[in-house]
Amino acid sequence: MTAGRSMQAGTTGAGEPQAPGNPQAPGNPDGPVALVVDAEGLVCPWPVLKARKALNTLAAGAVIEVIATDPASYIDIPAFCDTGGHVLLDQRRDGPRFVYRVRKGAGD
């Protein structure tokens, strides 16, 4: 699944959450990104499970960025936010990748 993928600096190679390179980048009105969740190459339900795991380590109001390649994530991540009480701040496509910014709700 992820074999043969080159690792970028700061990745663990296992799709674990990692600290972002520049969370205070311009155009980031929703606050700094606490964690970047690399779910590239993973299929349903793994992008949602990795997002949930990352959010469980953070305080309410924290923001994560999820990067996925599974087209089903375009439905799954918003549904996860709705049912989990989280806020989907942004959802966009970047080539073959889907990028989501999620703010943790107070319910977890």
Q: What residues act catalytically?
A: 44
Only one residue has tokens 């155009």, namely 27
Only one residue has tokens 């989501």, namely 100
Cα separation of 61 and 87, whole Å?
9
DSSP 46-75: HHHHHHHHHHHTS-TT-EEEEEE--TTHHH
Question: Hey, what amino acid is at 98?
Answer: F
